[in-house]
Amino acid sequence: MGISKFLYHLGRYVLMMRTAIARPEKLSMYYRETLRQMNDIGIGSLVIVGLIAVFIGAVTAVQFAYQLEGSFVPRYYIGYIVRDSTIIELAPTISCLVLAGKVGSNIAAEIGGMRQKEHIDAMEIMGVNTAAYLVMPKVIAALFVIPMLVALAAFISIIGGYLASVPTGLMSDAEYVLGVRSFFEQRNITMMFVKSLVFAFILTTVSCYQGYYVKGGSIELGRASTNAVVFSDILILLADYLIAIILT
Amino acid sequence: MIRTENVFKSFGEAEILKGISTEFYSGQTNLIIGRSGAGKTVLLKLLVGLLSPTSGNIWYNDVDFCNLNKKDLRAIRMKVGMLFQASALFDSMTVEQNIRFPLDMFTNMTKKEKLDRVNYCLERVSLEGVNDKYPSETSGGMQKRVGIARAIVLDPIYLFCDEPNSGLDPKTSIVIDELIRSITEEKQITTVINTHDMNSVMEIGDNIILLHQGEVAWRGNKTEVLESENQILRDFIFASPFLQRLRDTALEK
């Protein structure tokens, strides 16, 4: 992608967001739409996020147990490593990458479909600020719900680590719990929430942008949906790196 | 009344509209006709503000429509109703929710008042009792009528219809035409219809504008259509030998 094309998309994205940040025509309509989005994004993603989180924790525990085998590092460190790696990195990043695939593609397809079926034009002619009505409830819902999902994912990951290491005899219950409770730093939790807020904003706005400006037919809609996931993922990883530099 | 003043519209190198100056009157059904690619849909989109002209002005009475700020544009749009070619009904909402949407968004009516208004609009388009159906559960003609019901729910002053008869059988087309005409006369609104349905031209064409290659090629009403010697109009309206014979018979009488 050329630099001019990048600047074109960036400018259009900023303009869309500027239009989206406006006083709602009717607060109750936006509130209702936000609740619907919270349900779709939050409740709708619980199973997939939970499932992935269990395996993240389990794999982290098993991998580190293998790495630390025969070393002088105490076994309980595995609990500590599972806790910190999931809180700082794996829960927010992996969960949001998965959500970019599930929620992001859904948002792009939903808005893109509305664009193609002239629903957005119909709303515009009614006098609705479509950028605000279609984008803001999704962003607000994501900013509320995704940090909760990420916190839940971190918690489930730690349980996943426990399930993979204690019943299988990698370590005792007391060792794992000791590890989980050792060297706790509160700012890691802050970092997790900062990451999840930033990632939530990225994945919803990028997906809304891809859907809002879709042109053409079903092939373009599919492409917009794919682009929503690809660009969200790239930007999430880039933001992850920048947040890591800034907050550590 | 809506007035266009020397409106040009280009997409890149392609000049679609070349200086359209015309008027659309209140209480009349104003028809934009022309062959495919003549610029009808572009003109309609300019009139409702979905596109901006390359140059020229559009006036809603004394209001310069092209230079409104977003707030004033939205205020005007609340007085606009539009029926889309494919109806553009929200497919995940029921008929009632579709018609109620503008009321939910822009009014402080109670639930009962909204329901009464929805039922009145459905009654107006002869579609009582379909409140809970989804658009996919209704026929093309019903969808058009639901589209009209949604377009009139806020009592618009301006009504735009993009090919209201497309995809409909002749009988349903007549019903839709009659409906649009009666609403226009009853509410004395400015109705602009983009069509190439000849029956509409002959039945409800109070003010007809023929577009040809981006320019106004002819202007008149339904009675003048038959008598006009304008070759572009004749080629368009009486394209088939059958219609030519009908015209000759009508003129003989």
Residue B208, domain member (yes or no): yes
If one compares B191 and B203, the residue with the highest pLDDT of the two is B191
**Mean of the per-residue pLDDT values of chain B:** 89
A125 touches chain B (CB under 8 A): yes
pLDDT at B66: 87
Give the mean pLDDT of A106-121. 95
Question: Residue B204: which CATH number?
Answer: 3.40.50.300
Q: Which residue of B has its CA nearest to A127?
A: B74
Q: Is the pLDDT of residue B157 over 80?
A: yes
- pLDDT-derived band at A23, boundaries 50, 70, 90: confident
Residues near A216 by beta carbon (within 8 Å), at least 6 away in sequence: none
A26–B88 C-beta distance less than 8 A: no
pLDDT at B205: 87
Residue B62, class by beta-carbon neighbours within 10 Å (0-12 exposed, 13-18 middle, 19+ buried)? exposed
Report percent pLDDT > 70 for chain A: 100
Q: How many CB atoms lie within 10 A of CB A139?
A: 20
Tell me the C-alpha distance between A157 and A50, whole Å.
Answer: 8
**Which two structure tokens, joined as six digits, stand for B49?**
């503000």
Q: Is the pLDDT of residue B247 over 80?
A: no
A118 min Cα distance to partner chain B (Å): 6
Q: Is the pLDDT of residue A131 over 90?
A: yes
**Mean of the per-residue pLDDT values of chain A:** 94
State the ipTM, two decimals: 0.85
Residues of chain A with Cβ-Cβ distance to B81 below 8 Å are: 125
Task: Specify whether the CB–CB gap between B203 and B222 falls below 8 A.
Answer: yes
Tell me the C-alpha distance between B218 and B19, whole Å.
Answer: 14
Tell me the C-alpha distance between B151 and A41, whole Å.
Answer: 32
Number of separate domains in chain B:
1
Q: Is the pLDDT of residue A203 over 80?
A: yes
pLDDT at A1: 59
- pLDDT-derived band at B179, boundaries 50, 70, 90: confident
If one compares B229 and B17, the residue with the highest pLDDT of the two is B17
Closest partner CB to A125 (pick from B77, B90, B104): B77
How distant is the alpha carbon of residue A102 from its chain centre? 10
Query: In the 8-state DSSP scheme, what is residue B69?
Result: -
Query: In the 8-state DSSP scheme, what is residue A54?
Result: H
A119–B105 C-beta distance less than 8 A: no
Residue B245, domain member (yes or no): no
Domain residue limits at B14: 2-221
Report percent pLDDT > 70 for chain B: 100
Q: Is the pLDDT of residue B244 over 80?
A: no
Tell me the C-alpha distance between A70 and A105, whole Å.
Answer: 45
- pLDDT-derived band at B82, boundaries 50, 70, 90: very high
Query: In the 8-state DSSP scheme, what is residue A39?
Result: H
Closest CA to B43 of B179, B198, B140, B163: B163
Residue B228, domain member (yes or no): no
Model pLDDT for residues B132-142, shown as the tens digit of each residue:
999 999 998 89
Provide the sign of the torsion angle of the four alpha carbons B126, B132, B138, B144, taken in this order. positive
pLDDT at A70: 83
Q: Is the pLDDT of residue B125 over 90?
A: no
B77 touches chain A (CB under 8 A): yes
B86 touches chain A (CB under 8 A): yes
A128 touches chain B (CB under 8 A): yes
Give the mean pLDDT of A70-91. 91
Tell me the C-alpha distance between B93 and B99, whole Å.
Answer: 10
Task: Specify whether the CB–CB gap between A95 and A82 falls below 8 A.
Answer: no
Q: Where are the beta strands (DSSP E) in chain B?
A: 2-11, 14-24, 29-34, 55-60, 63-64, 80-83, 158-162, 190-194, 207-212, 215-220
Tell me the C-alpha distance between A95 and A51, whole Å.
Answer: 10
Tell me the C-alpha distance between A89 and A154, whole Å.
Answer: 10
pLDDT at B156: 92
* A34-38, B115-119, B233-237, range with the lowest pLDDT: B233-237
Residue B160, domain member (yes or no): yes
Residue B110, domain member (yes or no): yes
Model pLDDT for residues A217-243, shown as the tens digit of each residue:
899 999 999 999 999 999 999 999 999
Model pLDDT for residues A144-198, shown as the tens digit of each residue:
999 999 999 999 999 999 999 999 988 899 999 999 999 999 999 999 999 999 9
Residue B30, domain member (yes or no): yes
Q: Which residue of B has its CA nearest to A19?
A: B70
Q: Which residue has the tokens 């004395």?
A: B188
* A78-92, A135-149, B147-161, B231-245, range with the lowest pLDDT: B231-245
Residue B204, domain member (yes or no): yes
Tell me the C-alpha distance between A107 and B16, whole Å.
Answer: 34
pLDDT at A120: 95
B50–A121 C-beta distance less than 8 A: yes
Q: Which residue of A has its CA nearest to B74?
A: A127
Task: Specify whether the CB–CB gap between B106 and B156 falls below 8 A.
Answer: no
Q: What is the 3-state secondary structure (H, E, C) of A166-223?
A: CCCCCCCHHHHHHHHHCCCCHHHHHHHHHHHHHHHHHHHHHHHHHHHCCCCCHHHHHH
Q: Is the pLDDT of residue A89 over 80?
A: yes
Domain extent listing, chain A: 3-247
Closest CA to B90 of A206, A34, A123: A123
